[in-house]
Structure 1
Amino acid sequence: MILSIEELSIAGRERTIVDNVSLAVREGEFMALVGQSGSGKSLLSQAIGQLLPPNLHAAGRILFEGSNLLERKPKEMRALRGSRISYIFQDYQGAFTPFRSIGAHFNEYQKIHGEKSSTVRRNRAAEALESVGLDPILLRRYPFQLSGGQLQRASIALSLLLSPRLLIADEATTALDSVSAHRVLELLARKQKETGCAILFITHDWRHVRRYANRLSVMQEGRIVESGGKHRILDHPQHEYTRKLIEAAPILGRSLRSGIEEETR
């Protein structure tokens, strides 16, 4: 396992928000974490990188490549984030400072993680943009000069720049229309095959789960209520909450109802 979350709880002063969650992500797989807004999915993803708000505390174990991330010092986590663990957030525009060029972002990202050669940094940035279908000339431009789709692809290129072993995509397609979301996920799936990284894909959209995930876990009110292979859960959900979520998805709901009718004949 590249990532193993064991009995993780996240709590504030008044209540526990994520309660005794265990979750595993295998090397090279596309793992989906599914649930409605407010179920604790994003907080779980933030705990992995020690990105929780200061008023929240995480307890348990988060093992990444055998090391408990909750015991890592902030300096160690800063070195890990971007190099071994990388994020794509819903607000991809937030990855870029408006008054700095795209190239400056790629350059600084590499300098922070120890790349001293300016030539290597420049060439790697150009190759990263080309790998997501963008012209390297965009390195000279500023974020406001790129379209939303270009900026989203640039943020993916930046997140994959240093070949992380784990990519966490937290509602990365929520703000996109269906066509743009499909393009982004196709790009992620292709880059995953090229690099061999594992993806933890956090979403509430079952269409994307059905198309891209290998395995999935379903989260409700801070707890994992069901985990398993994609086909098993989509075809034969065991938990009532999972069944309701699938039934609420138009295409999946029809398929599930048809399956139930076949079984009862």
Structure 2
Amino acid sequence: MTVPSLLVEPEELHARLDDPRLVIIDATTFLHMDPEGTDHRLTSGRATYEQEHIPGAVFADLLNDFSDPNAAVPMTVLDSETFAARIGALGVGPDVHVVVYDQGANMWATRLWWNLRLEGFDAVSVLNGGLPAWKAAGYPTRSGVETRPAATFVARRRPELLADRDTVAKAINDENVVLVNALDPATFRGESNAYPRRGRIPSSVNIPFLDLADESGRIRGTDEVRDLFAEKGTLDEGKRVITYCGGGIAATFVAFDLARLGRTDVAVYDGSLNDWTSDPSLPMETG
């Protein structure tokens, strides 16, 4: 099928609710930070989905079903075979259009968007502003659990979209690679101790994912963010881009916006700082 637009507005989605080829997925997850920003924990959004969701939506539990429970750091991607079985169980297969949303953070939706693309599936869009935008438009919601007939998902992994520790280490001194830190400026400078070691991976540039949405949570237009990306070198021809954050979630939001600007080849460092800072021999920069 024709590859759909990466970003879908609530009005567009509402007009297509009866389309049998449409698969709507709620990917809500919650990141809880303590007031000092020194500790964080993740919880599933399943309960909030059951309380209220877009009609017809199924739930993808990113924390418990779509990450590797045996990995050293949270939210590590599954192997392709397991991912294919679990996403297929939600009704994702050939000739469907997937629209992913969350409770308004956008990064959980872009995480599943990236994971689907990693496994070779391009017919996936993100709902702009998530459930809050849907409700603000006056559209109805449902409670309970919804299901779809299982489908056969064939994974065709694109390894170039996934970066690991070794790849990032080599990128530090490679002028043809742009490392993008997607966290807030204070954390980028090392003024926050949310991770075992403060700061950023050397040679990184900072594009805070929070700057990519407005105060209401709606994702900004490409014309609003193009200069931000251009001045950091991420749109330069011939340069590879690798995004990272704390745990590989916010980094997918930056990768999503770069895809909207034509850079569909951006890699995400899945373990991000959770992985990098666990090795005391790896360098960090502050300031």
Name the TM-score, length of structure 1 as normaliser. Answer: 0.29
Higher-Rg structure is 1
**Higher helix share goes to which structure?**
1
